Amino acid sequence: MPNRGLLVVAARITVNGKEAPIAPAAPHTTVLDYLRERGLTGTKEGCAEGECGACSVLVARPGVHKPTDWVAVNACLVPVAALDGQEIVTSEGLATAGRPGTPPLLHPVQEGMAVRGGSQCGYCTPGFVCSMAAEYYRPGRCARADASVGHTAEHGPNGFDLHALSGNLCRCTGYRPIRDAAFAVGMPVEDDPLARRREQAPPRPVATEYTQGGSTFVRKETLSETLELLRELPDAVLVAGSTDWGVEVNIRSRRADCVIALDRLAELRELRVESHCLEIGAALTLTEIERRLDGRVPLLAELFPQFASRLIRNSATLGGNLGTGSPIGDSPPVLLALEASVVLVDADGEREVPLADYFTGYRQSVRRPGELIRAVRIPLPLARVTAFHKIAKRRFDDISSVAVAFALDLEDGIVRKARIGLGGVAATPIRAFAAEAALEGRAWSAETVEAAARLLRAEGTPMSDHRASAGYRSAMLGQSLLKLYAQTTEAVSS
């Protein structure tokens, strides 16, 4: 790929405080493989799909409440070229140097895992330690004065949210001692270098054109430059968090002549609240959206904890989730219920498309060659009754068998407006138009809901696969509406 007016500088990455060249790694080489080739073998490959967390590392990212957040990500999914100019810390880098001739001093989370028996074979331990460290340094985490208040099985008296470890699997130790270690860590001390690092700005995104072996990884400085490049190379692979493309590279050995990174483009990372709509930049990670909205959109707040794991949400974006066009992506049903639209942009301008008209077939959409998703728009005001029901084999960190999102406006016991988004029951995410029509203008009653539930069971074209049968999926559609009615009437009666 010829140089296109971009100043090419040797790609480099800072690992545990030391800068190193990325070359000669190929553009598709993952951070995991890059680190292991350089002797940092604490980072492990367990699944190569972002499900086990054995590969997690810390990345310095723009903070939500401080200039920098230490964010845990799956090193097995991220191409090392995507971290050109960036800063990471591995499990080895968490320890600090002791006196000359003495071993390094363990980090508090490492020490907690050691003294509480949180490690047996040790394979998964470095990944747990990195995810635990990200929560250890999370701004806003604080110990409660009364340890008995707010202490649950998933939230410790030290403010530790155990869901921070939801993307980490252990096959031999058992989770109780790992939880004990997490709930025992204190707060960072004043001279903790990684805690102090949060007060400084993160590394700025750098323009990158990294070529090895005939393949190129490109990050432009601006959206307009990116769109001009995409006009020339409409078949280039677009990546943000790489949580989908990384799996394709690892499991299916996919390769691309050119990969264009979108994750650090400022124009795709805005979140704006206006009088008539909420606009969410397509390259904001799900974690960033969750923390910046802070419950402002209840339906999204209900979705986020059920969307994969914290490790995945730290990288995944709404733009990427919609761009892949998966019929079982968890965000489309919620966004359909919220009547969201996508803002598509190319070098000639932008257009807005209702999400209900965006999907055209299995992993297909109206997005044209040369276009990308700039933002998602959600109209305001929001519906007052919302719910997201995810039916899956595991409570968390699993792919949906069925996903159903509801957004209803009830007034004086009448359904004034109903929007229902469905995932996992057709070749694309769909709106349940028949069930919506059966609800609107009618009393929110058992009779109305039962009639609409019968129609809802017939929405889509569910199929049988290893996750669920077609009959089960249909039954769950109807049951989800009955569950919503039960929940709303219980709330009123209480």
CATH architecture entry for 267-379? 2-Layer Sandwich (3.30)
Picking from 205, 209, 207, 212, the residue whose alpha carbon sits closest to that of residue 28 is: 212
- Domain ranges (residues) in the chain: 267-379, 385-493
Q: Are 488 and 447 in contact (CB under 8 A)?
A: no
pTM of the predicted structure, to 2 decimals: 0.94
Is the dihedral angle over the CA atoms 180, 183, 189, 194 positive or is it negative? positive
DSSP calls for 6-65: ------EEEETTEEEE-TTS-TT-BHHHHHHHTT-TTS--S-SSSSS-TTEEEEEEE-SS
Alpha-carbon distance of 473 to 480, in angstroms, equals: 11
Alpha-carbon distance of 435 to 458, in angstroms, equals: 9
pLDDT values of the chain reduced to their tens digit, one per residue, 494 residues: 444 444 445 899 999 999 999 999 999 999 999 999 999 999 999 999 999 999 999 999 999 999 999 999 999 999 999 999 999 999 999 998 777 788 889 999 999 999 999 999 999 999 999 999 999 999 999 877 655 555 688 999 999 999 999 999 998 999 999 999 999 999 999 999 999 999 999 999 999 999 999 999 999 999 999 999 999 999 999 999 999 999 999 999 999 999 999 999 999 999 999 999 999 999 999 999 999 999 999 999 999 999 999 999 999 999 999 999 999 889 999 999 999 999 999 999 999 999 999 999 999 999 999 999 999 999 999 999 999 999 998 888 889 999 999 999 999 999 999 999 999 999 999 999 999 999 999 999 999 999 999 999 999 999 999 899 999 999 999 999 999 999 999 765 55
Instruction: Look up residue 488 and give its two tokens.
Output: 């709303």
Alpha-carbon distance of 330 to 322, in angstroms, equals: 10
Picking from 12, 32, 60, 251, the residue whose alpha carbon sits closest to that of residue 126 is: 32
CATH of 385-493, one of 3.40.50.720, 3.30.390.50, 3.90.1150.10, 1.10.30.50: 3.30.390.50
Alpha-carbon distance of 148 to 126, in angstroms, equals: 30
